[in-house]
Each structure stands twice: as structure tokens, then as C-alpha cells.
Chain A
């Protein structure tokens, strides 16, 4: 059994330690906000926070995640109160299909924790998630709005 702490709650899971964290979150625990996009840590749809750092959960084994503090998109809002990033996303109508946005929001939330007032260059360096609908213009706008909020 492997013990995981996700969004402050502990889970005991009976899976092989080399299973990617993504699939344990999605299939074993059943939290589906974290998305599968590529499986090779390229697209960022599966981004979660591991001890506060944005991490692509398809590229991390569940064994390596054990004992660490894991936060998923479901763990951001507190009792239904959206975070500043989520509010900026709603205010600026960022998502189109929305599939990549869980990972995008997780990556942005980690960036803002590290750099509360990121420059465009900071954003360019930190946010490497793929969005095929092409929401980048709104993403940038909303990041700056969240930083100001």
C-alpha cells in the first residue's frame, strides 16, 4: 500500500509504485480534474503541485509522490470560494474547450506563489503548457489580472 496526501486528505492505494501519479489520481482515487494529454510531460494538462511546485503528474511515479503534499485542481477552491487565479479565469472568460485549463491554472498558481507580480518574460519562461484552442492571449491577461487582485 502507498500512502498519498492529496488536497489535505490521505489515501491508501494498492498500486505498483512505478505507476504514474496521474493514473492513480484519475483512475484509482477517481479525481478527474487532472487531465491526460500526452503521457510524456510535454503538454502540461496533468500538472499538479507537489510540495507547492508545479509538476507534471504523468512523469512522476506514485512511489516518488508518497509522503509529499499533493494538490490537484480540486484542491484550489476553498469551500467553493475560487482562488484569485480561478476568479481571473472566470472574469476574463479564459477557457475555450477547457481541457488544458486545469493544468494551466495549476502552473499559473505555482508561478504566482513564487513570483506574485510576474513579468511577461516570467510568464513565457514558466508557462509551457499546450493549449490547442489557443487561449494564450486570455491566459496572459488573466495572469496579470490575478497578480493585481
Chain B
């Protein structure tokens, strides 16, 4: 049986906590080493005397390229020399002390650029105006006679020039302009250019410092084991059994549900933890299995009560009068993020100060977690962000930060680096939520789709992690890509449409997993579109196009991949095609795949993928996000599944939770087609079209429709 347990400690609400921090709190501004002593023009821009430009980046870099993209946005308006740009992270403590000049640090939902483009560009523009103003004042000429380009300011009538580095100190004293006009997009020089990433060299030499690499004097190493059954607690543990083992310094309970060993090396800590007898109080959740969850979710197909997101016409009547109806049921499993760098955080605690270092997708939330765990006032806490070895949503949670501080508190004055084993990372995730879906479609006698009912059943992320975002109990995010309007709107006009959700929340904690809810919804809808087209006897592309007259941007990317793959021409012998489109994170995405199937072996020969993100800040990096999305999406399609037995996750490591390798990677032809006028994300949306494009191609090849993933459960292997 399944349960709906109360929200656990890990469902800490960020918004509430950070709001509380903004009151009466004062941390002195801690200048970082890179910008130390150099004039700060404004919160975003520091210029050193040698003309080095330090651009402050609030969002976290975790591979998606946002650090470089955001720097391009500031530099575009700043008119600085791009070759002299470096970046630094402000700390969350500085943010609070300075009344949040950098806005949201949160880096998820492909939001890095699309929700901060306006104020980061204004930060660059304001700094430029101040620098030019300082030069004009020095020259005693009107500002209007001066211009700036490439970090050089020119007084046009006299031809005099100076550099940003020379006037920076004076510019820092000028009052920030109130009115900061931005360039017309047609005048952009740096935005839209495929400049190289700013963080590459250190990632090729081993110098880049990730959380796992933090070293402090006198630091000890810790590793942890939380109750494998979510919601369970520590009943007892026998520390005496391991305390004498080599290198062991201390065995500590962490919160109510975990035990950690602290040692002189991580290997000693892990060896001792593996030998430590722990008795768990697992509670009722230990009865839950994947089968019991699936049974409960399937009951949701016929539940009378469901949250309605999208309703057009009268589906019931429409289906009743349809010439043909098609019904199909799909399922999507739990999946672990499996960041390459297992979760970790380093903390040092004394009664006067708590400092924490970690890779996080949300500096402010991590800071709030450190505050709460330390029990210290905000003025005595600081959090330092370091590079993330992958995030994918998992590092938006702060459980590992809390744990590190709770361990450090039990050894005051000693820096503690907490590193989870891969096994802990696999078993203590915040998993891609589990949902199932029944789709019922009605066709008229001409093969047109006239009625569609999409009944989702399953888990809500927002209920667990952001209950304040629910709308009368409904989780709007569940409907991503199926909603009537907004950043993830459906791209089909169906005269009678109903999309509803029977919410069922098993005890396994859900999380935002790169792509999040568009992942399953695109599989459901785009697979079913092909099922309907087949019943209608219409080409799958043509079937879709008939429904898309009012959705030109969805249609635009669909047509682009159809042209790219050569849909109107026959595929090579033995090769079969599939196509899919969806919208997510404000962007329109589509993919077309060419596959062949030999027995149980699937070979993907070619992928064409298109993205319309509105504005494309760095097309080269967008292409990397698109092709990378196929690795994440195809790993999910073929291998990605976390199963539940006795209330715990069964998979432990990459041997039981595989990820595709270079030999399985298809060639991805990327079409970046920004149509302008809006800002969409790029780190996530493409993932959702990877599986349905390939699934539809597999069906074209085999005649068999696979309605649950991963495909390894159907005996299929990607080669």
C-alpha cells in the first residue's frame, strides 16, 4: 500500500526562509580575491586598473553555460573588451547585506538567462554610463560627445581616448543613472555570438575546484548513511564497533534519520560506515513497492476527482460521437539525477561563525539551510559557492548542506568535508516523479482528432517542495507542455480537450529533474499522436500539422526537423523515422530520429533537433545543450529507472543505473532558430523530445508500441 506521509524535513521551503533573512541583518561586504581592492562600478561590474572586467554572476554554473551567457549579456551593454572579462560569484551573505542587488540566485527551470536578461543588461548599461560619465567629467565635455567601445572611451570631437581601467575609480563615485535604456536587439554585437566558454581551461587541467575538492587546514572527512526507507529514522547504532578502526575520529547521528562517520580520510570514513551496525525504524513505508505504487496510480485513471488544467469544449460528448476512438496507457518511472560529482559540502562551525562551501543551484537556499542548521544569526554565517559537478535539479535541494553543518556542529572548530558515496547519492535522491497516463482520443470520419482526454495520475513535485505554489491544491507544473497557455503550452488545437490530474503522492521524495514534467508529458502526448495518426491512416507529420494552424512557433520547429531529416523523401533502406515536438521553459523544441532495429538492438543513425528560444544568446552553447540533452534523455529512455522495494530504492550505482556512452551517442544535427521577441530556456527543453522521437521511430521500424520506459525492461538495448 502507498501512503501520503507528512512533508519531511527535506521539504524545507526556501521562499519563507529567505524572506525571513532580509530583516535586520548585516554582513560586511566580503570582497573576493579576484576583485579585491578594485573599483566596483555597480553590483555587476568591477573594473581593475589594468582594464580587467570582473562581471558578477548570481546564477550557478553547472555545465549549462549560463556563466558565459550572462557575462555576454552584461558585456554587451557595458561595451567592454570581451577578452578582458572574468567572472565571480557574489556570496548569498553579501546579497542579504546589500539588500539583494543580484536578484534570484536560483538556477533551475532553465531560468538563468531568461528571467534575468533585463536587469543584468541594465547592470552593464548603467556601468557603461557611469564610466563614460566619469571620462566626460574629467575632460569637462558633454557626455553626449563621448562614446564607448571595447573598454575604450572616445571624445568624438577631439579624438581623445581613455580606458575603463583609468576612469573606474572616478566612475565608482558617480550616482547610478535612474533611466537606463537598453540596446535594440538588432544592434547586439556579443549577444547572439558563439563565443567560447569562460571556464574551459581549468576544466582540462584538473585545476577547476568543485565542492569535492575543497581543502581546509585540519579538515576531516565524513560520509553518511540515511535511512534507506524514506521517512524512516535511526533507532540505534553501535559506534563502539567502529570507533577503534583506523583513522576514525567520531561517529555521529545527523538529524533523526542519518548516521555519519568522521575520519582522517574519506576512505577510512567509508570503510567504518560500511562496518557500522545501524538499526532503522522504517515505519509503514517499508511496505511500499514499485508494483504497489503503479497499482495506486492506475486507480487514478478512473478517479472521479481530478485537477483540471486545460479544458476546451466537451470531451465526453466528443468522444461519444467520434467515428473512432483510441485508448492507451503510459507510465514513467522514478529516476535519479546521478550528477557525476556525488553530493558534498564542507562546513566549519564555532559558536561565533559557521562557514560552508558547496556546489549549489541555489545560493540563497543553501545559505538559509546553513543558517537554520547552525542556529547562528545570519551575521555569523557565510556560504561560498564552488563549481558544480552537475546539478540537473538535485543541487537545488539543500539536504547535504544541512547535514554537513549538523556534523560540523558536533566537532566545533574542525572543518568537515561531507561526501556522499555514489550509493548514498543513488538511494537518497529527490527523484524524477512517477506518473502514469491514460489518453483517450476521438477521430472523425476524415481522420481528424476531434476529442482528446489526457488523464495524468501520479506525483506532484510542488506539493513536496513548494506547496505555496499550488493553486487550490492543484500542481500547475504537472501539466507542463499540456497547459492552455504560458511557458509550456500545448501546441495542438483540439475542439474537445481535457487535461486533468489525479494527484497521488507516494513516499519517495520527488524533485526537479532536468526537464522535469515535460519529460513524461511529451512521451505521453507525442507517442499518442502517432497512435492516433496510425488509426486515422494519416502520416504522423501531416496529422500533427492539421492541428497546429494556431501554433506557428510549435509548427516552426516541427517543420524545421521534418525538412532537416528529409521527411518527404524515403528513409535509407532498413531505417525508420520518428518525429516529436513540445514546448517547455518558454522555448519550442522538436526532434526527428532515424533508427534501425535488429532483434533487440536499436541503432540511432541520426537526430535532427530544433530549438526556438526566442533570443539565442550563444548559439554554440545552445547546440551543446541540445546534443547533450540527447545523452540525458536517451539514458532515461533506455536505462533510467529507480525501482522501489521495501520502501527503498533498489539501484545503487552506475552498474544498476546505467548512462549511455559515446558508442551509443547518435549524431545530433542542431538547428538553433531564434525567432525573436521572447526569452526561452535551453538547458532542459530538448530532453523531452528525445525519447518520443526515438520511440516513434522504433514503432515505425517494429510495428510495436512501447508505452513504458526504460526500454531495457522490454529487452531493447541501444547500440
Q: Which residues of A line the B interface, CB within 8 A?
A: 15-16, 19-20, 23, 26-28, 30-40, 42-43, 45, 72-74, 76-77, 82, 86, 89-90, 93-102, 105, 123-125, 127-140
Bound-complex Cα distance A16 to B264 (A): 13
> Dominant SS at the A interface?
loop
Q: Which of chain B's residues have a CB closer than 8 A to the CB of A137? A: 624, 627-628, 665, 667-668
Interface residue B655 (Cβ < 8 Å from any Cβ of A): yes
22 residue pairs of the A-B complex, CB under 8 angstroms, read: A16-B246, A32-B215, A35-B210, A35-B341, A36-B419, A40-B655, A72-B206, A73-B205, A89-B203, A93-B200, A93-B621, A95-B197, A96-B63, A97-B388, A98-B63, A101-B203, A105-B204, A129-B662, A133-B340, A136-B665, A137-B668, A139-B662
Q: Could you tell me if B629 and A134 are in contact, using CB atoms closer than 8 angstroms?
A: yes
Contact indicator per residue, chain B 384-408, by CB within 8 Å of chain A (1) or not (0): 0001111110000000000000000
Interface residue B267 (Cβ < 8 Å from any Cβ of A): yes
Q: Which of chain A's residues have a CB closer than 8 A to the CB of B668? A: 137
Q: Could you tell me if B205 and A96 are in contact, using CB atoms closer than 8 angstroms?
A: no
5 closest Cβ pairs, A-B complex: A33-B206, A134-B631, A134-B628, A99-B389, A98-B203
* Chain A residue nearest to B628 in the complex (CB): A134
- Once A23-B267, A38-B422 are accepted as A-B contacts, the answer to whether A93 and B624 lie under 8 Å apart by CB is yes
B214 shortest CB reach to chain A, Å: 9
> Dominant SS at the B interface?
loop
B side interface size, CB within 8 A: 60
Bound-complex Cα distance A15 to B247 (A): 10
- Once A32-B212, A97-B62, A130-B340 are accepted as A-B contacts, the answer to whether A124 and B246 lie under 8 Å apart by CB is no
Known: A23-B266, A132-B631. 5 other contacts (CB 8 A): A32-B213, A42-B655, A93-B624, A132-B339, A135-B624
Q: Which of chain A's residues have a CB closer than 8 A to the CB of B661? A: 124, 127-130, 136
Q: Could you tell me if A132 and B204 are in contact, using CB atoms closer than 8 angstroms?
A: no
B645 shortest CB reach to chain A, Å: 21
Partner of A96, one of B221, B342, B421, B628: B628
Interface residues of B in 195-219 (CB under 8 A from A): 196-197, 199-210, 212-213, 215
Contact indicator per residue, chain B 619-640, by CB within 8 Å of chain A (1) or not (0): 0110010011111100100000
Interface residue B643 (Cβ < 8 Å from any Cβ of A): no
Q: Which residues of B line the A interface, CB within 8 A?
A: 62-65, 196-197, 199-210, 212-213, 215, 221, 246, 265-267, 338-342, 387-392, 419, 421-422, 620-621, 624, 627-632, 635, 653-655, 659, 661-663, 665, 667-668
Bound-complex Cα distance A126 to B188 (A): 43
Bound-complex Cα distance A42 to B660 (A): 12
Q: Could you tell me if A99 and B340 are in contact, using CB atoms closer than 8 angstroms?
A: yes
Q: Could you tell me if B392 and A38 are in contact, using CB atoms closer than 8 angstroms?
A: no
Q: Could you tell me if A27 and B64 are in contact, using CB atoms closer than 8 angstroms?
A: no
B184 shortest CB reach to chain A, Å: 29
Bound-complex Cα distance A106 to B236 (A): 44
